[in-house]
Amino acid sequence: MDLTILILQGVIVAATPLLFAAIGELVVERAGVLNLGVEGMMIIGAVAGFSVTLETGSHMMGILAAMLGGMVFACLFGFLTQVLMSNQVATGLSLTIFGLGIAALWGQAYSGMTTEPLAKLDIPGLTSIPIIGPLLLSHDILVYMSIGLTIGVGWFLSKTRPGLILRAVGENHDAAHAIGYNVVGVRMLAIMFGGACAGLGGAYLSMVQTPLWVENMTAGRGWIALAIVVFAAWKPNRALLGAYLFGGVTVLQLHAQGFGVKIDAQYLSMLPYLVTIGVLVVISRDKTKANLNAPACLAKSFYASS
Amino acid sequence: MSGILKKIMTSLAALALVLSVGVASAAEKTKVGFIYVGPIGDHGWSYEHDQGRLAIEKAFGDNVETTYVENVSEGPDAERVIQQLARAGTDIIFTTSFGYMNPTLKVAKRYPDVKFEHATGFKQAPNVATYSARFYEGRHVIGLIAGSMTKTNTIGYIASFPIPEVVRGINAAYLAAKSVNPDVKMKVIWVSTWFDPGKEADAAKALIDQGADILMQHTDSPAAMKIAEDQGIYAFGQASNMHTFGPNAQLTAIIDNWGPYYVSRVKAVMDGTWSSGDTWDGIGAGMVGISDFSDKIPADVRKLAGDARDALAAGKLHAFTGPINKQDGSAWLVAGETANDGDLAGMNFYVEGVEGSLPQ
């Protein structure tokens, strides 16, 4: 197979976990909630997906478990921040630490075990079309889900009434409450959605990208996803761009080293961050416009009585 | 967002306090502390250090108390954790990653009564000893196997950071491979991390895509081994036996065996005979282990590698024996000359024939 296509396939694999987690967090933040526990929810998804796949032999069950695991874990965050009104930043950080710990505990029983990687799509006649086949029609189901999810979330937020309500809750929770919307309910749903997405992102790592389970295997991807949301100015299509840009430059610099490009590895390692920052500067050079995008109620607790 | 940032900072500070509590005190026992760069469940580097810690517990039972802190990043955080261990009355502290070198020395200065043991470093102090294993001897053995078995004449090498220990490994493996296969090439990819399974897997795939059919790694997770298994190529276990991740892929593994050294050093603390120094042991002393050879290795290659292993152990063979030139063509060792430990400890150049430029 042509090396260019192999490289692009590698880019898709590196970008997909980031895209899942970023899209989920984007919806959460659009609802006015800042959940810094993405890393924790991802690692829960990673261990849940891996262990259930191993136990049941079914990747579908693993994917479901990862979503469910991330969602349940996110509910914990939702309960603490929406019902008990704890500080979102502190709660999110502890969620990450708690998640890494509990995933390590859960995963101990699965230490050193392996599963088959998730199967790739194979459409007779179509997957074998040159270039288009291997590039577009030969991935695992999760890749298509992540793209579909991006389009779906974009449509939901901008074209549907529930999407409008969710944004209203994020922009001004007092006004949304005053006209009768259930602010806490909407936010809980958003948080659960975000948890499920982060879980999928983690599962992609443990079921496709590596595919194995080791403690701490998310290695900071949750934080990258959080940064991508800001990079994306809370817009789903830009989150896609951000995830593919970051994943793409990461993989390209690895290949560049393999080809013996005469640039020191440290600089190449910096590239994904530098490129992302560079693009961010370019697309947000209009300051007022950029500021308008941030949900006005982001990270603020909502008190129904006030 | 500045309000949020401030909140993050305060939260982190509070968190640091919470995390730093935990080392309980008990009288009369010798207290031994460890800090690890990765999780003990990494199936690689940190796992083997923890096996060494368990060997101490097994050897001394109730007379020792061991603690460990895992996932400590190499930087300011390390200094805080080491200081915390020292303050808690720990008698001897093992700091098990190269990047802990300066934090270890700094804390050691403040706590002259505490003994420190820093792995893979090169700076000592009256209360700081250094120790490392001659992993490059293992690299010589796997280099012979890889050079003999590669069909594409391309060996892929996933490297972490350009420190002497890693550079030694690349050079030793390349020289050995080259000695049995003059056409062999080594592709090195630096991932700038010790532990990131996703990135290690991406690097493994990139190397395979570029034609490598045997992988070596100097990172801590078994991700590359699993990728090799799934793609039907060969790889070598690093630090620990990674056979379960690549039952068909693993040809052999270089195993770090720290237990005996750790036990002897804790014993020295108990007896009051501990003194600073630099220990650098290899296959001969058992600090570097070579796991069983896979039956995928042809019999003649197995004999070649086995003989080399035995000769290294007996001190009859040195992995760096001249003539060897540096990458730029300048002479390093003349025919028959072997590298001295000083050159090895500070190695910051590729040998002739390795492609790419070494990050400085």
Chain A residues with CB-CB distance to B196 below 8 A: 219-220
Q: What ipTM is given for this predicted complex?
A: 0.88
pLDDT at A128: 78
Chain A residues with CB-CB distance to B71 below 8 A: 216
Residue A285 token pair: 């050079």
Interface of A with B in 98-127 (CB under 8 A): 104, 107-108, 111-114, 117
Domains of chain B in sequence order: 29-133 (3.40.50.2300), 135-256+287-345 (3.40.50.2300)
pLDDT at B18: 46
Search chain B and give the residue with CA nearest A97. B15
**Record: contact A209-B193, CB cut-off 8 A:** no
d(CA A250, CA A252): 6
CA torsion, points A298, A301, B1, B4, in degrees to nearest 10? -140
pLDDT at A280: 76
* Helices (H), ranges, B160-288: 164-180, 197-209, 223-230, 259-271
Give the N- to C-terminal CA distance of chain A in Å, as an integer.
Answer: 63
Identify whether B112 is preceded by a cis peptide bond (ω within 30 of 0). no
Residue B5 has pLDDT above 60, yes or no: no
Residue B2 has pLDDT above 80, yes or no: no
- Shortest alpha-carbon distance between residue A73 and chain B (Å): 20
pLDDT at B102: 94
Q: Phi then psi for B138, rounded to 5 degrees?
A: -65, -40
The pLDDT tens digits of the residues spanning A204-251 come to 999 999 989 988 899 999 999 999 998 888 999 999 999 999 999 999
**Record: contact A114-B245, CB cut-off 8 A:** yes
Chain A residues with CB-CB distance to B229 below 8 A: 114
Chain B residues with CB-CB distance to A218 below 8 A: 198
Chain A residues with CB-CB distance to B223 below 8 A: 210, 212, 214
Nearest to B11 among A93, A251, A265 (CB): A93
The pLDDT tens digits of the residues spanning B130-168 come to 999 999 999 999 999 999 999 999 999 999 999 999 999
The pLDDT tens digits of the residues spanning B159-211 come to 999 999 999 999 999 999 999 999 999 999 999 999 999 999 999 999 999 99
Chain B residues with CB-CB distance to A14 below 8 A: 198, 202
Question: A6 touching B, CB under 8 A?
Answer: yes
pTM, two decimal places: 0.87
- Please give the interface size between A and B, counted as residue pairs whose CB atoms are below 8 Å apart: 141
Of A155-159, B74-78, B88-92, B138-142, give the lowest mean pLDDT range: B74-78
Residue B78 and residue B99 in contact, taking contact as beta carbons nearer than 8 Å? yes
- Shortest alpha-carbon distance between residue B280 and chain A (Å): 29
pLDDT at A291: 67
d(CA B271, CA B151): 55
Question: A30 touching B, CB under 8 A?
Answer: no
- Shortest alpha-carbon distance between residue B103 and chain A (Å): 22
Where does the pLDDT of residue B8 fall: very low under 50, low under 70, confident under 90, or very high at 90 and above? low
pLDDT at A199: 97
Q: Domain-by-domain residue ranges, chain A?
A: 3-222
Search chain B and give the residue with CA nearest A10. B202
Long-range contacts of B10-16 (CB under 8 A, 24+ apart): B11/A87, B11/A89, B11/A90, B11/A93, B12/A93, B14/A90, B15/A93, B15/A94, B15/A97, B16/B80
Q: Whole-number mean pLDDT of chain B?
A: 90
Question: A274 touching B, CB under 8 A?
Answer: no
pLDDT at A284: 74
Query: CA geometry: angle at B293 spanning B292 and B294, to 5°?
Result: 115
Where does the pLDDT of residue B56 fall: very low under 50, low under 70, confident under 90, or very high at 90 and above? very high
Nearest to A87 among B1, B7, B38 (CB): B7
pLDDT at B17: 46
User: Which ranges of chain A have pLDDT less than 50?
Assistant: 306
- Shortest alpha-carbon distance between residue A240 and chain B (Å): 19
**Record: contact A90-B11, CB cut-off 8 A:** yes
**Record: contact B226-A93, CB cut-off 8 A:** no
pLDDT at B12: 53
- Shortest alpha-carbon distance between residue A261 and chain B (Å): 7
Instruction: Identify the residue with better confidence: B44 or A93.
Output: A93
DSSP for B264-322 reads: HHHHHHHHT-----EEEE-TTTTSEEEPPPPTTS-HHHHHHHHHHHHHHHHTS--SSBS
Residue B60 has pLDDT above 50, yes or no: yes
Where does the pLDDT of residue B10 fall: very low under 50, low under 70, confident under 90, or very high at 90 and above? low
Interface of A with B in 196-255 (CB under 8 A): 205, 209-212, 214-221, 250-251, 254-255
Q: Find which of B186, B189, B229 to mutate to test the A interface (most A CBs within 10 Å of its CB).
A: B189
pLDDT at B58: 95
Residue with tokens 């200065």: B109
Of A147-156, A239-248, B1-10, B257-266, give the lowest mean pLDDT range: B1-10
Chain B residues with CB-CB distance to A117 below 8 A: 230
Chain A residues with CB-CB distance to B50 below 8 A: none
The pLDDT tens digits of the residues spanning B11-43 come to 555 454 444 444 444 457 999 999 999 888 888
- Shortest alpha-carbon distance between residue A167 and chain B (Å): 19
Search chain A and give the residue with CA nearest B38. A216
